[in-house]
Amino acid sequence: MTQGRPTVLVTGGAKRIGAAISRRFGEAGWHVVIHYLSSREASENLAGSLPSAETVRCDLGDESATVEMVDDLAKRFEDWRVLVNSASVFKPDDVGALDHETSVQAMQVNARSPARLAQEFLARARAKAGRRVIDITDQKLENPNPDFFSYTMSKHALAATIPMLAKAQSDPRDRIYGLAPGAILPSHDQSEEEAERSHRLNLLERKTGADEIADAALFLAGGWLASGETLFCDSGQHLLDQDRDVIYLARDRETA
């Protein structure tokens, strides 16, 4: 099945942005390894719809299991070119009331595990044309607000690893990238109507599609940018200075 195809692992690859990325790589001729934790049915259905794909379950909160997953894949694939760290937890807490459990989980899943995955991938994966790590971060890196405090903190921590890992690579063919989306899909208790309004709170006043993020990930897989760069794909949202997350900005405007 994988003969002649480069391999990509997409963490959290069964749903939402991760699923769009998995689908785009699959359509482009890659063998896609779709990671999941609890979304087995969605993962298997997506894999079954792609020309060449498989699924792997792993709890990214378990560091030893995370390392074991990478080691197993590295032994199996001769051309594992790309790791996309897309899995993420997005739970609310704010700057005045950090929730301990939320913070610990966010830092582990959103920052520490992606860093360990990248380290193991770069140490063990074999590839024929250079390797790529693509970390899905967030436009909040440039446009922070007090909402989702632990989530935002964890994404800043992940972003800090990108230039560090980039500078540590001895093979110039390897690349470490960040990909920073804005508001893409409905979150938490948002209705479709609310999402439609909130996702247009950017410079272009348009919704950024999950397909655009997937196309950007495939572009980065080609290694066209200098290692250590982050590509923002958010219709200009990161260039604004928003006081709150767009979920709440849209609700405030609706009730004003």
pLDDT at 256: 57
Pairing of strands 7-10, 80-85: parallel
**Which helix (H) or strand (E) element contains residue 166?**
helix 149-168
Confidence at 230, pLDDT banded by 50, 70, 90: very high
Terminal CA-CA length for the chain: 57
pLDDT: which is higher, 94 or 57: 57
User: Nearest 5°: phi and psi at 222?
Assistant: -80, -15
Residue 84 corresponds to which amino acid? V
Burial of 162-175, coded b for 16+ CB within 10 Å and e otherwise, reads beebbeebeeeebb
**Exposed, middle or buried: residue 96 (CB in 10 Å: 0-12, 13-18, 19+)?**
exposed
Q: Assign domain 7-255 to its CATH superfamily.
A: NAD(P)-binding Rossmann-like Domain (3.40.50.720)
Q: What's this model's pTM, rounded to 2 decimal places? A: 0.96
Q: Identify the three-state secondary structure at position 178.
A: strand
pLDDT tens string 90-143 = 999 989 988 999 999 999 999 999 999 999 999 999 998 899 999 999 999 999
* Beta-bridge mates of residue 134: 84, 177
pLDDT tens string 218-227 = 999 999 999 9
Distance between CA atoms of 187 and 177, rounded to whole angstroms?
25
Residue 193 corresponds to which amino acid? E
Under a CB-based contact definition with an 8 Å cutoff, are residues 158 and 112 in contact?
no
The alpha carbon dihedral of 188, 194, 196, 200 has a sign of negative
- The overall average pLDDT reported for the chain is 95
Under a CB-based contact definition with an 8 Å cutoff, are residues 6 and 79 in contact?
yes
Q: Domains of the chain: which residue ranges?
A: 7-255
Nearest to residue 179, comparing CAs of 129, 128, 221, 239? 221
